Chain A
Amino acid sequence: MQSKIAETRKELPQGMLAIFFSAPAVLIIAATILVPFGMAVFLSLHNWNLKRPGRERFIGLENYTDWLTDSDFWEPLRTTFTFAIGAVILILAISLLIALLLNEKFPGRGVVRAMLLVPWAIPSVVNALLWKWLLDPNYGLINAVFLELRLIDSYQAWLGNMPGVMIWLVIAYSWIHIPLATLLLLSGLQTIPGDIYESAIVDGASVWQRFAFITLPLLRPMLSIVIIFEMIFALKVFDIIFVLTAGGPADATNVLGWTIYTETFRKLDFGAGSSIAMLLGAITLALAILFYVFLDKGVEQ
């Protein structure tokens, strides 16, 4: 039997064998990523409004130039960055704090680590619905608690005013993203050799000095990964906006992801929607490269 397999291996050249085994994955990737991506590029170069069949035509970069000269692109872009920066800062701060805590030995650490995964296990739309109930202006738990604590004197429509809506949106979004960031940072913390800390303690370094001069620099590669990941996720936010605010009130949460949805699936202008999706993709990619280069240089130094 084994000799038969060996013979078959000999019959197929290595290159062919590699193609044969990777073909299913390549086909799936092509069907689910490359074809839709190619289609989106194609549509972005066309005037393609489903409400006007028969009038599709190639218009080159016109969709792109239209967006780049329109406040309907720049305003959502500003909102997207406001949201993304707020979310990344909050996620990073809290997840770093939790990771540092979980890196210490204490009774019940395993249970706490397991509990950390709970928000992560909740689908993002369910998370959004959960926050919708929590923030309900008439029955929401947050209103009840704040009123009990005398932080407010009457129930508030948290999602109906600015800038409150953005703050709550960032909190609701971050809640579900903190576990992944924490796990990544925790794994980074665990790669730092304990003897470095021991030497520092012998040299009289304080807790803050150990954090600033050992933990943070050695955690920098993992921090860069978390920042890049979270920034990419936050820039393409959509589901929580869809459930909680629908881009409102007064376009205060109209991020680019929402604009893409509106242009494509509400206005049915697939050309305009695809071009703005391409622009968002390009911005995200550029930022990821920038962060990577910047943080990678820092690590080398």
Chain B
Amino acid sequence: MHRIKSLFLLLTVLSLLVGGVALAQDDGLKLTGWPYEVDVVTENLGRFTDQTGHDAVFLPFPSNEYRDKMVASFVAGTEFDVAYVRDSYLAEWAAAGWILPISGLEGADELLADLPQGIIDQMSYEGEVYGLPYYSGTQVLAYNQAHLDGAGVMSPPETWDEMAEQAQAIKDAGVVEHPILMELRSGENYLLRSLEIITAAHGGRFFDENYNPEFHLPDSPFRQGLEWIKTNLEAGLIDPASLTNAEVDTLMMAGTNSFMATTDYTLKAMNDPEQSNEAGNIKNALIPGANDQRSGTIGYVRLYSITNGAEDMDAAWQLVQFLGGKDATGVYYVPKRWALEFGLGFSPAPLYEDEEVRNSISGWIDPDLLNEQGNYAISRAYRFVPFFSDWEIGSWGPLQAIILGEADPDDVLNELAEEWIELKEDWGY
């Protein structure tokens, strides 16, 4: 009797385990990304399931650990079918074969025809397109109109020197202690992005179209930008929190700072009374210029890609089309929803004509200035070589040392240029 009981117990446990494994395997498509508006993503996936019959679940990783977690996942043989990808590491993932090209898949040409060539280029590696856009846009200057008014400043700055003068006036008027915020922290999407913006605004770029370094040349726009940052950090016009704080947007919302170059869609949150103390005061302007250049900026794109772990390619491609393109009813449902409800930048041309979208974004950003800013976005082909991230990671410390006056710019920049050339040769570019 005792043996029968034991056998029954063992069989029960085994059947539960087997059932659990079977359930775990039968949960449809797996989408991963960073946890921005998880509920909305889940709702969108519900619509996808209703329309296609494919179950899909969203399993995000923390944003600042996303790349690392995904690399670990890819190395172990990823369970995910579709993943968010930032353009900054698209080349790296594509070169390793972790994400798959969509070129040639059924319906891809039709969707790509609705996108600007610049966005397609930014989603490509070695001639193949690796997904459809989640959101895209440009960096703009956000400024606090109330702070400018408080210091008697009539209009936002048109040059970087003018920004420093206005910041000094705001500081002197006692409005805020450190008027300028910049993202100068170590890490992807911080220091180098800020330097790319200020370099573009000074009429320059890091590398030429053949991937040869330009940043280290004497009196290069990059050096001018670096010097501007160093000078104004020393003067207390740039907030020292810029060097350490990972979420500087929240400081603009709190009202502790007056100027910041930021991604276009963050202005929606900055002007949302539920999230921001300064709602209604944060305006957008063109990134200031220098050297007779009115402005300069960089664009960005985040995309949905099919991973090499996708077991059902057709279903995964359907999901990518639904998220980054059109749903089963033939409308850009998900991109439009992101634009309307969250202000995320979009790429498909038909959405620019959509009256509802146009009316929606004008509530928190000047669409004409946003459109004009896009014209000043520089091409950054160098971002899409697989060794860029190796070089970038090694550059953060030395560049911060220059900004803090701890290192000689000539030594550091020449060394960084040599490192780039070595990597370039090693990778056969």
**Contact residues of A with B, CB < 8 Å?**
50-53, 136-138, 154-157, 159-162, 245-251, 254, 262, 265-268
Residues A51 and B96 in contact in the complex (CB < 8 Å), given A248-B396, A266-B389, A267-B390: yes
Count of CB-CB pairs between chains A and B under 8 Å: 92
- What CA separation (Å) do A266 and B69 show in the bound complex? 10
Q: Is the CB of A137 within 8 A of B72?
A: no
Q: Which residue of B lies closest to A156 (CB)?
A: B240
Q: Which residue of B lies closest to A132 (CB)?
A: B244
Q: Which residues of A contact B271 (CB under 8 A)?
A: none
- What CA separation (Å) do A155 and B400 show in the bound complex? 21
Among residues 124 to 147 in chain B, which have CB atoms less than 8 Å away from a CB atom of chain A? none
Q: Which residues of B contact A250 (CB under 8 A)?
A: 397-398, 400-401, 403-404, 406-407
Q: Is the CB of B400 within 8 A of A251?
A: yes
What 8 A-B pairs are tightest by C-beta distance, nearest first?
Answer: A251-B397, A157-B240, A250-B401, A160-B243, A250-B400, A137-B241, A248-B186, A246-B186
Interface SS of B by simple majority? helix
Residues A138 and B241 in contact in the complex (CB < 8 Å), given A50-B75, A247-B186: yes
| Closest beta carbon of chain B to A234's beta carbon, Å | 21
| Closest beta carbon of chain A to B295's beta carbon, Å | 29
B254 at the binding interface (Cβ < 8 Å): yes
* Contact flags B163-195 to A (C-beta < 8 A → 1, else 0): 000000000000001000000011100000000
Q: Is the CB of B401 within 8 A of A50?
A: no
- 27 A-B interface contacts by CB (under 8 A): A50-B96, A52-B96, A136-B241, A136-B245, A137-B240, A137-B241, A137-B244, A157-B243, A157-B244, A159-B244, A160-B244, A161-B240, A162-B404, A247-B186, A248-B243, A248-B396, A248-B397, A249-B244, A250-B398, A250-B400, A250-B403, A251-B398, A251-B401, A262-B393, A265-B71, A266-B67, A268-B71
Q: Which residue of B lies closest to A268 (CB)?
A: B71
- What CA separation (Å) do A37 and B282 show in the bound complex? 53
| Closest beta carbon of chain A to B414's beta carbon, Å | 15
Residues A247 and B397 in contact in the complex (CB < 8 Å), given A138-B251, A267-B390: yes
Q: Is the CB of B185 within 8 A of A246?
A: yes
Q: Which residues of B contact A53 (CB under 8 A)?
A: 96-97
- What CA separation (Å) do A262 and B397 show in the bound complex? 12
Q: Which residue of A lies closest to B391 (CB)?
A: A267
- What CA separation (Å) do A162 and B68 show in the bound complex? 28
| Closest beta carbon of chain A to B39's beta carbon, Å | 24
Interface SS of A by simple majority? loop
Q: Which residues of A contact B390 (CB under 8 A)?
A: 267
Q: Is the CB of B244 within 8 A of A267?
A: no
12 more A-B residue pairs beyond the given contacts A159-B243, A245-B244, with a C-beta to C-beta distance below 8 A: A136-B241, A137-B239, A137-B241, A157-B243, A160-B241, A161-B404, A247-B396, A248-B185, A251-B398, A265-B72, A266-B68, A266-B393
Q: Which residue of A lies closest to B95 (CB)?
A: A51
Q: Which residue of A lies closest to B74 (CB)?
A: A50
Q: Is the CB of B393 within 8 A of A248?
A: no
- What CA separation (Å) do A155 and B257 show in the bound complex? 14
- What CA separation (Å) do A262 and B392 show in the bound complex? 11
For B75, B241, B406, the residue with the greatest tally of chain A CB atoms inside 10 Å of its CB is B241
B256 at the binding interface (Cβ < 8 Å): yes
Q: Is the CB of A138 within 8 A of B256?
A: yes
B386 at the binding interface (Cβ < 8 Å): yes
Q: Which residues of A contact B386 (CB under 8 A)?
A: 51
Q: Is the CB of A157 within 8 A of B92?
A: no
- What CA separation (Å) do A266 and B388 show in the bound complex? 12
| Closest beta carbon of chain A to B419's beta carbon, Å | 11
Residues A248 and B400 in contact in the complex (CB < 8 Å), given A156-B240, A159-B244, A160-B243: yes
- What CA separation (Å) do A71 and B96 show in the bound complex? 29
Q: Which residues of B contact A268 (CB under 8 A)?
A: 71, 92, 96
- What CA separation (Å) do A251 and B398 show in the bound complex? 7
| Closest beta carbon of chain A to B124's beta carbon, Å | 18
Q: Which residues of B contact A154 (CB under 8 A)?
A: 177
Q: Which residues of A contact B254 (CB under 8 A)?
A: 138
Q: Which residues of B contact A156 (CB under 8 A)?
A: 240
Q: Which residues of B contact A245 (CB under 8 A)?
A: 186, 244
For B97, B245, B256, B407, the residue with the greatest tally of chain A CB atoms inside 10 Å of its CB is B245
- What CA separation (Å) do A253 and B400 show in the bound complex? 12
| Closest beta carbon of chain A to B172's beta carbon, Å | 15
- What CA separation (Å) do A250 and B185 show in the bound complex? 10
Q: Which residues of A contact B96 (CB under 8 A)?
A: 50-53, 268
| Closest beta carbon of chain A to B393's beta carbon, Å | 5
- What CA separation (Å) do A247 and B407 show in the bound complex? 17
Q: Which residue of A lies closest to B404 (CB)?
A: A250
| Closest beta carbon of chain B to A25's beta carbon, Å | 23
Q: Which residues of B contact A247 (CB under 8 A)?
A: 186, 396-397
- What CA separation (Å) do A247 and B399 show in the bound complex? 13
